[in-house]
């Protein structure tokens, strides 16, 4: 089969290769998926770059990247119902702690990680449900019902944030979102009631005004460290900050006093290790929102498998309007 892979860290054009490799065979409890699309995420590019502290070489001799994808089951291992063959699926954790992800014609993985797609779902959309979709669903809805609550979503134009805006609106929340000035119309079209420029020096006051002075019940946060002082100002008492990123400040200093006297809960999400029951709930939320037409994940660019390196560059380029895919 054809696959894109790397064996050392470095810039994508220098280290990503395309070649024929042996097609996998499903082990007991596994399915094999003939892939249609591979979802490319910033975490994939960061893993390939070798910039993570303390990591000096790839964890495997050859890494086929990417955790997300979609396709059709074409074979099953012992213990898996053969009736699953021929069914379209989307994939989560394809390359998490494994050597071989979705940047290939086939992948074998545990049967539970190949999720039956809702009828008629575009396979491009299926390929972005793993990391961007599940992260949005859990950070928005993982704490329970948010109907009639005020939810703040930072980075509302990003792949996770754009999904989060749609899901929060679908769930009945009043949605305040932040983004760059150039993306405000797009975030507003996704359903946000109020869209604010995250660079505005009066952002805290604007958020409080948009919440009628009550503050934020739940914040979905992509830059936790950089925004911690802001959150301490705008969160309502007993509110929750659902944080899934802090790239600008990975060792934040927290304003503990203001957070303490509001009893703010900090819920940090790493979607790769989400417990089984919580993942099942997030999948159910995604499927219901997709089937009702309330969620339409955005796709920015689709590359061919041979352009995997370009896809890694694109996913780390600011200002993209949606997810990046490889068509296999």
Task: Give the CB-side neighbour count of residue 90, counting CA atoms within 13 A.
Answer: 23
Q: Which residues contact 260 (CB under 8 A, 6 or more apart)?
A: none
Per the CB < 8 A criterion, the answer to whether 311 and 320 are in contact is: no
**SS3 state of residue 105:** coil
In angstroms and rounded to an integer, the radius of gyration of the C-alpha atoms of the chain is 20
Q: Does residue 201 share a domain with residue 265?
A: yes
Q: Is 231 within the bounds of a domain?
A: yes
Q: What is the pLDDT of residue 176?
A: 98
Q: Is 265 within the bounds of a domain?
A: yes
Q: Is 92 within the bounds of a domain?
A: yes
Q: Does residue 142 share a domain with residue 123?
A: no
pLDDT for residue 80 is more than 90 = yes
Average pLDDT of the residues of the chain: 97
Per the CB < 8 A criterion, the answer to whether 68 and 130 are in contact is: yes
Task: Give the CB-side neighbour count of residue 273, counting CA atoms within 13 A.
Answer: 5
Rounded to an integer, the average pLDDT of 301-316 is 98
- Residue 328: closest CA among 301, 302, 304: 304
Q: What is the pLDDT of residue 54?
A: 81
Q: Does residue 124 share a domain with residue 13?
A: yes
pLDDT for residue 146 is more than 90 = yes
What pLDDT digit, counting tens, does each position of 22-79 carry? 999 999 999 999 999 999 999 999 999 988 778 889 999 999 999 999 999 999 999 9
Q: Does residue 202 share a domain with residue 114?
A: no
Q: Is 212 within the bounds of a domain?
A: yes
Q: Name the pLDDT band for 295 (thresholds 50, 70, 90).
A: very high
Could you give the residue ranges of the DSSP H alpha helices within 174-237?
184-189, 203-210, 224-234
C-alpha span between 22 and 74 (Å, rounded)? 16
Q: What is the pLDDT of residue 167?
A: 98
Percentage with pLDDT > 70 across the chain: 100
C-alpha span between 94 and 38 (Å, rounded)? 10
Q: Does residue 172 share a domain with residue 264?
A: yes
Q: Does residue 110 share a domain with residue 171?
A: no
Per the CB < 8 A criterion, the answer to whether 44 and 136 are in contact is: no
In DSSP terms, 182 is beta-bridged to: none
pLDDT for residue 168 is more than 90 = yes
| Environment class of 254 (CB within 10 Å of its CB; exposed 0-12, middle 13-18, buried 19+) | middle
pLDDT for residue 88 is more than 90 = yes
Cα–Cα separations (whole angstroms), residue 60 to 1, 45, 63, 177, 185: 19, 16, 6, 40, 43
Q: How many domains in the chain?
A: 2
Q: Is 166 within the bounds of a domain?
A: yes
What pLDDT digit, counting tens, does each position of 221-280 carry? 999 999 999 999 999 999 999 999 999 999 999 999 999 999 999 999 999 999 999 999
Q: Does residue 160 share a domain with residue 256?
A: yes
pLDDT for residue 1 is more than 90 = yes
Q: What is the pLDDT of residue 55?
A: 85
Q: What is the pLDDT of residue 53?
A: 78
pLDDT for residue 289 is more than 90 = yes
C-alpha span between 192 and 178 (Å, rounded)? 9
Length of the chain: 328
C-alpha span between 323 and 314 (Å, rounded)? 10
Kindly state the tokens that stand for 211.
């919440």
Q: What is the pLDDT of residue 186?
A: 97
Q: Which domain holds residue 217?
A: 138-271
């Amino acid at each position: 089969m054809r696959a894109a892979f790397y064996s050392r860290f470095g810039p994508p054009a220098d280290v990503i290769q395309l070649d024929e490799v042996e097609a996998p065979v499903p082990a007991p409890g596994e399915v094999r998926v003939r892939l249609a699309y591979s979802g490319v995420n910033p975490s994939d590019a960061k893993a390939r770059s070798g910039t993570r502290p303390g990591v000096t070489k790839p964890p495997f001799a050859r890494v086929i990247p990417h955790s997300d994808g979609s396709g059709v089951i074409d074979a099953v291992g012992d213990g898996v119902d053969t009736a699953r063959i021929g069914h379209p699926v989307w994939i989560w954790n394809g390359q998490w702690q494994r050597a071989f992800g979705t940047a290939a014609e086939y992948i074998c993985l545990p049967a539970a990680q190949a999720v039956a797609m809702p009828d008629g779902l575009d396979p491009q959309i299926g390929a972005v449900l793993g990391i961007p979709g599940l992260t949005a669903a859990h950070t928005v809805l993982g704490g329970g019902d948010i109907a009639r609550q005020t939810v703040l979503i930072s980075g509302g134009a990003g792949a996770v944030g754009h999904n989060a805006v749609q899901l929060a609106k679908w769930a009945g929340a009043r949605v305040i979102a932040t983004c760059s000035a150039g993306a405000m119309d797009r975030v507003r079209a996704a359903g946000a009631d109020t869209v604010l420029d995250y660079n505005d020096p009066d952002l805290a006051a604007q958020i409080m005004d948009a919440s009628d002075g009550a503050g934020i019940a739940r914040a979905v946060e992509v830059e936790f460290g950089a925004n911690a002082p802001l959150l301490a100002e705008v969160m309502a008492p007993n509110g929750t900050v659902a944080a899934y990123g802090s790239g600008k400040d990975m060792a934040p200093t927290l304003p503990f006093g203001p957070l303490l006297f509001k009893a703010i809960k900090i819920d940090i999400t790493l979607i790769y290790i989400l417990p089984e029951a919580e993942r099942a709930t997030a999948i159910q939320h995604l499927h219901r929102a997709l089937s009702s037409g309330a969620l339409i994940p955005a796709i920015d660019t689709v590359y061919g498998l041979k352009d995997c390196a370009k896809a890694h560059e694109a996913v780390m380029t600011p200002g993209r309007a949606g997810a990046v895919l490889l068509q296999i």
